Structure 1
């Protein structure tokens, strides 16, 4: 039918100068060679027009069918992070870390981020979007194609599957109008990247509120802190390490029609473990950027309260339960248990983000220094005293620091060796291959098959046990059960004769207590938390710091610096007021 209707029209195509016309469903002429649509329409006879009593309906199917490119549909970088955040929120809900954390908390945070960074929910296009349009115009794209795009800064990825539509609607991004045909010039620019703005996004500086993969963990931690879930930042990073929360292979979160390609690899690929201090800083910066209100108060029954965390970590490191009363006493004296101090308020100026888990560990270290001194002399004398004191039949066993040191030393060495093996065997890649170019894909696949074969051969030669799979989620490193007879459980041991409850006087403690640092550094630009010279401290103190750092999987210097802050609040001296000499001016005659 097209050949009969277009036989009389012999004008060449203005784009490719070919005479090969067709008629679309709308009745417009288009070139079958280059798909250029012109203004000429099909002429209809009066005999072909038939109007009944039914309603007149017109179905717009587009100028031509949307063709999927080799690297997938058109998508933007923010849409990629949207898919990742959606999967992370679903993983948190599946772990039972807060109902509706996806729809009620993380969705609102993501909307505010898009609005603050002017990616969506804004009346004007951002300068980044304008630069993208200028680059497309300079590459040869026509102005009509740029005007045909929606005014919003983000266009959703459309697909026939319900999963993709659900992920878009749940996070509240504006729906897309479908895939629009692109010219050869525009496709030439898109070949360099799977996303539309990947080449421009990689040139952005971190000062422009750049979204990164560690930033997704900041979104997760802010959401958990808002609902006051029973998860600290250390627990979150441990869940990420064991793949309970998607992070290391983000390409698994993308649908099949969205391909990570080219420069997108440098944006989404993860090749290192997230650091505790970096995620904490990103969380603080994100809270200030979004201008969030004051978070729900952290009361004594909340998981982030130091009394709760200290009890949890006392069980973790196999210390007596009686130490919990002393940790509560130190938290009360230093005023670290007040809700005004613990509750996160992004609008408060010159206030740091409290590392709740590290602060609880620091309080336990201060209590151990108060009772056992940890100077490589006093704690061993107390251990000899505990050995001489034989408990009666109905009395509890007195805590022996030497036995605890021996037990925890072997457990720490075993846990440290196991952690090194897990990090060495960590799988950084999966079956989905991320290639920078199409030519390098086959080379990467070949290397991956060779590495997998070599790994299987070495495992057979070494006689290694097969991998048991992904371990269940747990916030504990050590498990002190009654069935484990190889180690001693010190939870029920007594501190009688070592720490008397009726002698809680700070002046008496300070006679033997030694401070970590004599003079505190107040310079903001000085990385004083990194200055931890182990050779200047007793071996018992170093062992305690190393043990707690292994439990939290942080650097020992972070715990050492937090201990110094707790000591500064516990032994704070009021500055003596010096009398000012009154100088009278002599009257001159």
Structure 2
């Protein structure tokens, strides 16, 4: 800072509204700032020309107007903010190797269709700000936020009386704007009636848009992968508003729309995607055949590798899939407007098929699988070969790696900084306080790193579809991919058959989803621990709850039993019951 400007700032003797100090400096643009608390006020230095002492220099006046325009931003709608977020999410997915048609041909068309269906654009009678604001004040007080939560108080308005008219409810060019927010239509997004009437956007809906677009292209990226990449920061979602340009200022009610405090669950995004597809009136999606990774035949092979299970299990998984009828195109293809329309969870279905196959082979009742393990150990010792798959060794290896991975995940979440680089503020007075605290925190962090000689945060690792590395030198444990199943299967009449003739399952009575709640927590203490371990393993791999996988296992078992070939004795018994 130039010394003459600092000296000129000493001539201004009013107290600072923040710290009550009288210690003013002058910026290069001619504005006063407090050297004690760095508070910047609207008053500017009267620079006098040596020839025309009665006039202020015109160049400073123009820069002041330009700075004010940049400070308060342009008029913008909330849907424009979501459009910026979708754009950056699509670009992040393209960098991961998603099909090039994802952004322009699919996601962009879905977004245009949404704007047209919600009457926000691409229509002869678009929804204006005035129509959005109609009835927003009549909504319930419990659902809408009061103005006192975000508007400046009376003392703040007195200090900021020189602010442009956009803060008080009107933009500088005369257009209407939203009160106590940077956007024009933030009030409507806090009204339950308006939000339901126009199906307004939310942050989880951005992930629903991406999920539907990936599903339309039948990409290998499942919803579980999408949410995991979001959690790891590869796809912008947490503090995604930071990608907004400088002209789009966020404060007040905008913070409640774009602020994200948690990542939505798998079920939440699934429900949002289905609602969105029905609202957009989308046609039947392209069929999912065995050529695409979303098909359970290929997706289960990926999860077998991830769970460190033998590749030979894939043959039996495909048999279970065919017997249950879940590998057909009619079952896998999504039809939003169909009679029994539901958005299928392809990743959870593949995991459920593997668990059912493990129950068919090893029974998984806390008794049979350990007896088979003892028998396998004896055969491996006699043959001096470890080529037969032993469930006990697999369990010990995977359990150790799973516990370490869970601890590492908890540590990474604890180290993750949820605070944004561009903090949101509810009023202009709070902006100065927040920015000052941010500068103090960053200065303390830098000083602490220098004193402790600690290294800064490590760079973000590239996205990976696998969470475990088996068989590597510095991996999570030995690999069991190439081992064979041994005595759990036998060859008879030129085909393989299961040695385990029995199968246990929980109650398969039908439940009404809207009337009946989840029963997993009630029956979980009675289930075998080996089966619970399988649920915990795939729950960690997919990032979903154990109850979701258990419910899909029950669904596969229903289809498997219903489509199972009946023996002659069972057919006779069924005929007698009918007669």
Q: Aligned partners of 1:122 and 1:452: how far apart in 2?
A: 48
Matched, 1:207 2:159: no
Instruction: Trace 1:370-385 onto structure 2 (pairs within 5 A).
Output: 370-385=360-375
Looking at structure 2, the residues matched to 465 and 113 of structure 1 have their Cα atoms a distance apart, in angstroms, of 46
Instruction: Please give the per-residue CA displacement for 1:58-91, whole angstroms capped at 9, x wherever unaligned.
Output: xxxxxx9997263310000111111111111122
2-side partners of 1:550 and 1:459: how far apart?
Answer: 34
Unaligned runs of 5+ in 1: 1-63, 137-178, 582-589
Match of 1:586 in 2: none
Match of residue 74 from structure 1: 75
Give the superposition deviation at 1:126.
3.5
Task: Name the CA distance, whole Å, in 2 between partners of 1:76 and 1:558.
Answer: 38
Contact 1:71 1:260 in 2 (8 A): no
Residues 1:341 and 2:331 are matched in the alignment = yes
Superposition deviation, residue 230 in structure 1: 1.5
The residue aligned with 2:284 is 294
Residue 532 of structure 1: CA displacement? 5.6
Number of aligned residue pairs: give it: 471
Q: 1:520-545 CA deviation, whole Å, 9 max, x = no partner?
A: 32343323265464311111111111
Shift, 1:308, TM fit: 0.4
Shift of residue 181, structure 1, vs aligned partner: 4.9
Instruction: Find the residue that maps to 1:82 and give its secondary structure.
Output: helix
- 3-state SS of the aligned residue for 1:386? helix
Contact 1:313 1:361 in 2 (8 A): yes
Deviation at 1:325, TM superposition (A): 0.2
Tell me how large the CA RMSD over aligned residues is.
3.2
Deviation at 1:429, TM superposition (A): 2.2
In structure 2, the partner of 1:193 is 181
**Residue aligning to 1:251:** 241
* Bigger Cα Rg: 1
The 1:247/1:373 distance shift into structure 2, 3 A limit, reads same
Alignment partner, residue 220 of structure 2 = 230
1:479 to 1:369, Cα distance in 2 relative to 1, 3 A:
same
Distance in 2 (CA, whole Å) between partners of 1:65 and 1:376 is 74
Out of 456, 477, 489, the position equivalent to 1:499 is: 489
1:448 deviates by 4.1
**Paired residue for 1:115?**
116
Residue equivalent to 1:474:
464
3-state SS of paired residue (2:487): coil
User: Deviation of residue 347 (structure 1)?
Assistant: 1.6
- CA distance, structure 2, for counterparts of residue 469 and residue 66 of structure 1: 35
Give the conservation status (yes or no) of the 8 Å contact 1:396–1:494: no
Query: Contact between 2:490 and 2:497, CA under 8 Å: does it hold in 1?
Result: no
Query: For the residues of structure 2 that align with 1:466 and 1:392, how far apart are their CA atoms?
Result: 54
Change (3 A) 1:308 1:66: same
Cα contact 1:399–1:490 (8 A) shared by 2: yes
1:580 Cα deviation from its structure 2 partner: 8.1
C-alpha offsets along residues 105-161 of structure 1, whole Å, 9 cap, x if unaligned? 11110011011111112222438742437999xxxxxxxxxxxxxxxxxxxxxxxxx
- In the alignment, what sits opposite 1:37? none
Which aligned pairs between 1:393-408 and structure 2 lie closer than 5 A?
397-408=387-398
Partner of 2:107: 106
Q: Please identify, of 280-289 and 206-215, the stretch whose mean Cα deviation from structure 2 is larger.
A: 206-215
1:471 CA displacement: 1.2
Aligned-pair distance for 1:504? 6.3
- Classify the secondary structure of the residue corresponding to 2:562: coil
The verdict on how the C-alpha distance between 1:200 and 1:482 changes in structure 2, with shifts beyond 3 A counting, is closer
Equivalent residue number for residue 386 of structure 1 = 376
TM-score scaled by structure 2? 0.75
Note closer, same or farther for the CA distance 1:462–1:233 as it changes in structure 2 (3 Å cut).
farther
For 1:182, the equivalent position in structure 2 comes to 173
Q: Please name the residue that 1:41 is paired with.
A: none
CA contact (8 A) 1:521 1:528 kept: no
